[in-house]
Amino acid sequence: MKSSHIPRATIQRLAVYVQVLENLIQNNENVISSEGLARACGVNPSQIRKDLAYFGEFGVRGVGYYVQDLLTAIKQSLGIDRTWNVALVGVGNLGRALLRHQIFRKRGFILVGAFDCDPFKIGEEVAGLEVVCSRRLKERAKDLDIEIGMITTPPERAQRAANYLVEAGIKGIVNFAPSRIKVPEGVAVEYVDFIHHLFSVAFNISLNQSKGLA
């Protein structure tokens, strides 16, 4: 198909497929059908075939998908068949935990800069990185070839952090602060908010319980 517009939902599912495929590789499974993958991901088999069709034909009829090949193909499609340099703004509790977390590097997102505006934090070393003043983001972004920013400031500072990142020419932001930010067109923003997921779970529990009573 190699189509033009790809649904956001498809992208999110592709990320799930990557997750599951990597586990399959761990278990030395070489081939999987759309049905098998669907079961593991909790979606419909056609869904998977459709999602993949946006990017090309990766399967073999009568056989299924070669796990390693499919994984490579999806990664290429998502643009994660390479590494990305990432700057983190806001070295608080969460920021520190993320800086120390190995998972980013493992998945090709390399934290190359840590920024904060608190003079007490500047100069401190966290996970092998020296904390630098946020004002110096622009200058550093060029040297370090940073393309993605992660915001882990308190909510009221998120917009300012975003401004620094945009000014530094960053083209994508993952915002962990619980507030919406405004950025110019052409800058991709994703929001990560644990609380939203807890809300969702709380709602579903309440729902299930009221269903049980009915």
Partner DNA sequence: AATGTTTTGTTCAAAATATCACATAATTCC
Partner DNA sequence: GGAATTATGTGATATTTTGAACAAAACATT
Positions in the binding site for DNA (CB under 7 A): 1, 5, 7-10, 33-35, 43-47, 49-50, 52-53, 57-65
79 touches its own copies (CB under 8 A): yes
Q: 182: which residues sit within 8 A by CB, 6+ positions away?
A: 159, 162
Query: Could you tell me if residue 108 is left (phi over 0), alpha (psi between -120 and 50 degrees) or otherwise beta?
Result: left
Q: Is 36 exposed, middle or buried (0-12, 13-18, 19+ CB in 10 A)?
A: middle
98 touches its own copies (CB under 8 A): yes
Could you identify the residue written with the tokens 């290429």? 76
16 touches 51 (CB < 8 A): no
Interacting partner of 50 out of its own copies, DNA, none (Cβ under 5 to 8 A depending on kind): DNA
Q: How far is the CB of 212 from DNA (least distance, A)?
A: 22
Stretch of residues binding its own copies (CB under 8 A), selected from 58-66, 88-96, 115-123, 129-137: 88-96
Tally of CA atoms within 13 A in the half-sphere of 153 that contains its CB: 27
94 touches its own copies (CB under 8 A): yes
208 touches its own copies (CB under 8 A): yes
199 touches its own copies (CB under 8 A): yes
31 touches its own copies (CB under 8 A): no
x/- mask, its own copies, residues 55-74, rule CB under 8 A, reads --------------------
Stretch of residues binding its own copies (CB under 8 A), selected from 4-12, 46-54, 116-124, 135-143: 4-12
Q: How far is the CB of 36 from DNA (least distance, A)?
A: 8
Q: 44: which residues sit within 8 A by CB, 6+ positions away?
A: 38
Stretch of residues binding its own copies (CB under 8 A), selected from 28-36, 110-118, 129-137, 198-206: 198-206
The gap from C-alpha 137 to its chain's centroid, in whole angstroms, comes to: 22
142 touches its own copies (CB under 8 A): no
Q: How far apart are the first and last CA of the chain?
A: 46
